[in-house]
Amino acid sequence: MAKGPNYKVKFRRRREGKTNYYKRYVYVLSGKIRLVVRITNKYVIAQVVKIAPKGDVVIVAAHSIELVKKFGWKGDTNNTPAAYLTGYLVGLRALKSSINEAIADIGLHVPAKGARVFYVIKGAIDAGLKIPLGEVGIIEERIRGIHIANYAEKLKSEKPELFSRLFSKYLERGLDPKDLPSHFDEVLNKIKASGG
């Protein structure tokens, strides 16, 4: 560790890799409402947040576990289609709360092209929320999970034992992975019908 009279110890959350204080400072100065996207090992979490003097205030939120509990989603809760659906859900809820625009806050996620955080944002945009989003490498067929269905079909014919191991959770929930795109459409229609 560095030593000397001019060395400054970074804030604890920066040392732990949880907060980028420069980005946070810019968000606070802008005063704009943010769409905060966080992806864990199991879930996708999206929140619409406004800055207040005592701390952030969450206006609306969506969690990918809701897809399973409320809308009958049988796929993974942190893959690309689940990320899009979670974004769509939070977008509808934001519009219900009279929020029409926001800026994206992806935290410490690396903004790599085609990253799942951008699919959450795309879902919110498609729901009607205005969020500035540049060219981030979104592939339309990935939204519906066509890439997962194609891979599952290929694996089922070439290596059935690997297929049953990799897609065991899908099969346990009663979903054949090749039917994921149609299942996605079904869940998306349920979300639209519910209005968030």
pLDDT digits (tens, 9 = 90+) for 101-142: 999 999 888 889 999 999 999 999 999 999 999 899 999 999
Given pLDDT bands bounded at 50, 70 and 90, which one contains residue 1?
Answer: low
* Phi, psi torsion values for 173, nearest 5 degrees: -80, -5
132: its two tokens: 């500035």
Residue-wise burial string across 93-104, b where 16 or more C-beta atoms lie within 10 A, e elsewhere:
bbbeeebeebeb
Note whether residue 5 is domain-resident.
no
pLDDT at 94 over 80: yes
If DSSP codes are grouped into helix, strand and coil, which group holds residue 101?
strand
Q: What is the mean pLDDT of residues 148-168?
A: 94
Here the tokens at position 96 are 């219900």
Number of structural domains (the chain) is: 1
pLDDT value of position 21 = 87
Report the C-alpha gap between 148 and 151 in whole angstroms: 5
Kindly state whether residue 22 falls inside one of the protein's structural domains. Answer: yes
pLDDT value of residue 109: 87
Q: Point out which residues pair with 101 in neighbouring strands.
A: 130
What integer best gives the mean pLDDT of the chain?
93
Q: How many CA atoms lie within 13 A of 106 on its CB side?
A: 16
Q: With H, G, I as helix, E, B as strand and everything else as coil, classify residue 24.
A: helix
- What's the confidence (pLDDT) of residue 190? 96
Mean pLDDT to the nearest integer, 53-66: 95
Question: Is the residue at 122 inside a domain?
Answer: yes
Q: Is residue 46 predicted with pLDDT exceeding 70?
A: yes
Only one residue has tokens 């110890």, namely: 9
Query: What residues make up the domain containing 86?
Result: 16-194
Instruction: Quote the pLDDT of residue 17.
Output: 86
Q: Does some domain include residue 9?
A: no
Does residue 8 lie in a domain region?
A: no
- Residues paired with 38 in a beta bridge: 45
What's the CATH number where 169 sits? 3.30.420.100
**pLDDT surpasses 90 at 196:** no
Q: For residue range 16-45, what is the model confidence (pLDDT) as tens digits?
A: 988 888 888 998 899 999 999 999 999 999
Percent of the chain with pLDDT over 70: 99
For residue 2, tell me if it sits in a domain.
no
Could you tell me if residue 1 is inside a domain?
no
Q: Which of 147, 178, 193 is nearest to 74 (CA)?
A: 178
Q: Within a domain: residue 4? A: no
- In the structure, what pLDDT confidence band is assigned to residue 64 with cuts at 50, 70 and 90? very high
